[in-house]
Amino acid sequence: MNAITKILPNIQAQIIDAFNFRHATKVFDPERKIDESAFETILEAARLSPTSFGHEPFKVLIIQTPEKRELFREFSWGANGIMNGSAGQLGTASHFGIILASTAETMTAGSDYLVDHYRTVKKLPEPVIEMFNGAYGKFQTTDHGITTDRQITDWSGKQAYIVLANMMTAGALIGIDSCPIEGFDMGRTTQTLAQHFEIDTGKWKPAVMFAFGYRAKDPEFPKTRRSMAETVSWF
């Protein structure tokens, strides 16, 4: 029995414990801040996350200054505490941010952005780049039919959710709370990113907000999920 086999049951238990620990934290303890090295681990989980074709069609925007966070309060009901009468995640989270999704301007097969990505990030030889362009082009036009800007941006958003899931799991494994946030006005958020954050919203659109920190109190109700039999089918 090797070392990995010996510790495997303990790792499995830690994973399940982390998922049971994690909940959508609505109010954080504003006095507790995440250690810099711990949050770097969460960001590294984001950076190393898998994405379709390895295209990495996402960007993580961290918003730390109170003034910048307040720009979103009026139209981010999922983060402003209006649902529970608090300062919400915007006012209490140690770290708050938005994951941006790439648009058709960069994620259309054969785009200059993707060719550069193949060369400089993936370091592929030219014949393989040509193969990638062909395979991804078929994927977009034939296999999945994602050719409009909305369709491609939504596809990029799917990759962003993989990234956020890995961030939240990494956080839970080291005792850090989190919350994924979809309760915001997409149009006004996009406009705010362009006006106040110098984001090129022709290339990037908001996919999902997130908050990390330490819970102000434990959840009032136990975690509920469907049974395994209702969730998984074997054939």
Pick from 27, 7, 52: nearest CA to 157: 52
> Model confidence at 8, in pLDDT bands (50, 70, 90)?
low
State residue 85's pLDDT score.
81
φ, ψ dihedrals at 102, nearest 5°: -70, 150
The Cβ-side half-sphere exposure at 184, using a 13 Å CA radius, reads 28
- Under a CB-based contact definition with an 8 Å cutoff, are residues 203 and 93 in contact? no
State residue 19's pLDDT score.
97
Pick from 153, 54, 157: nearest CA to 99: 157
Q: What is the pLDDT of residues 132-189, one digit of tens each?
A: 999 999 999 999 999 999 999 999 999 999 999 999 999 999 999 999 999 999 999 9
Look up residue 124 and give its amino acid. Answer: L
State residue 184's pLDDT score.
98
State residue 5's pLDDT score.
65
Residues 6+ apart with CB under 8 A from 10: none
Residues 6+ apart with CB under 8 A from 43: 60, 167
CA distance 60 to 42: 11
Q: Is the pTM of this model over 0.75?
A: yes
Query: Per-residue pLDDT for 1 more than 60?
Result: no
Average pLDDT, the chain: 95
Q: CA angle 207-152-73, nearest 5°?
A: 20
State residue 162's pLDDT score.
98
In order, the DSSP letters of 112-169 are: HHHHHIIIIIS---HHHHHHHHHHHHHIIIIIS---SHHHHHHHHHHHHHHHHHHHHH
Categorise residue 56: left if φ over 0, alpha if ψ from -120 to 50, beta otherwise: left
Q: What is the pLDDT of residues 64-76, one digit of tens each?
A: 999 999 999 999 9
In percent, the amount of the chain with pLDDT more than 70 equals 97
State residue 3's pLDDT score.
64
CA distance 70 to 58: 24
State residue 9's pLDDT score.
76
Place of tokens 């960007």: 59
Place of tokens 């494994």: 173
> Model confidence at 82, in pLDDT bands (50, 70, 90)?
confident
> Model confidence at 86, in pLDDT bands (50, 70, 90)?
confident
Residues 6+ apart with CB under 8 A from 200: 194
Query: Per-residue pLDDT for 191 more than 90?
Result: yes
Buried b (16+ CB within 10 A) or exposed e, 53-64: bebbbbbbbebe
